[in-house]
Amino acid sequence: MSNKILLTGFEPFDGETINPSWELVKRFHHKQISQHEIISKQIPTVFYESQEKLNQYIKEYDPKIIICFGQAGGSKSIRLERIAVNLNDARIPDNKGQQPIDETIIKNGPNAYFTKLPVRNLYHVLDNENIPVSLSLSAGAYVCNHIFYHLLHTIYDTDKMGGFIHIPYIDKQVKDQKDVFSLNLKTLEKALNIIITSLID
């Protein structure tokens, strides 16, 4: 297994022109942290296609750590997702117009998988730096949960580490909406540096 870390972020969706997850991870592309090389990839906000891309990148780079990121608009903290469920149930169509309802992701797959990231520890290190963070029991049932479930299904019996993190809007997405919470991209960059460093240690 290589010393690579794969980070993914999604395409914009739901009428947005940017997705904070991609804005964040693309800044880490080709960065080296403690002899680990980071590869950042954008994933389509599309059921199944997203998972095919992710699998392709896992095969191509054989990363030892994989962290997928997505936007959770309206969230007031960085959400460390704990559980992926075997369910697609889309509130809105994806970027290709698909809107699965009450659909099983993998027939006969387990109902749920727990993350393979040490989320309790990550929670403490981020919280100690006064970064808004929470442990989350649901990544929803849209494309983020879909890719999270596939990721865990793919790596569960391997020694790869991986999971999913939801992030709030970034400031420039909500500059005309005073009541909507957002974070500064610099804060998110700091958080991601802390996350990567603690996973490597």
- Contact between 164 and ligand PCA (CB under 6 A)? no
Cα–Cα distance between 152 and 139 in angstroms, integer? 13
Which residue type occupies 172? K
How far does Cα 6 stand from its chain's mean position? Answer: 11
Q: Does residue number 40 form part of the binding site for ligand PCA (CB under 6 A)? A: no
Nearer to ligand PCA, 63 or 140 (CB): 140
Minimum CB separation of residue 70 from ligand PCA in Å reads: 3
Q: Return the active site residues.
A: 81, 144, 166
Torsion region of 114: left, alpha or beta (phi above 0 gives left; psi -120 to 50 gives alpha): beta
Please state, in angstroms and rounded to a whole number, the distance separating the CA atoms of residues 155 and 147.
12
Q: Which residues pair with 85 in a beta bridge?
A: 112
Which of 21, 51, 77, 86: binder of ligand PCA (CB under 6 A)? 21
Pair of tokens at residue 15: 């009428």
Among residues 8, 19, 77, 86, the one that binds ligand PCA under rule CB under 6 A: 19
Site pattern 104..143 for ligand PCA (x: CB under 6 A): ------------------------------------x-xx
Structure tokens at 48: 């199944």
Catalog residues that contact ligand PCA under the rule CB under 6 A. 10, 13, 19, 21, 45, 70-72, 140, 142-144
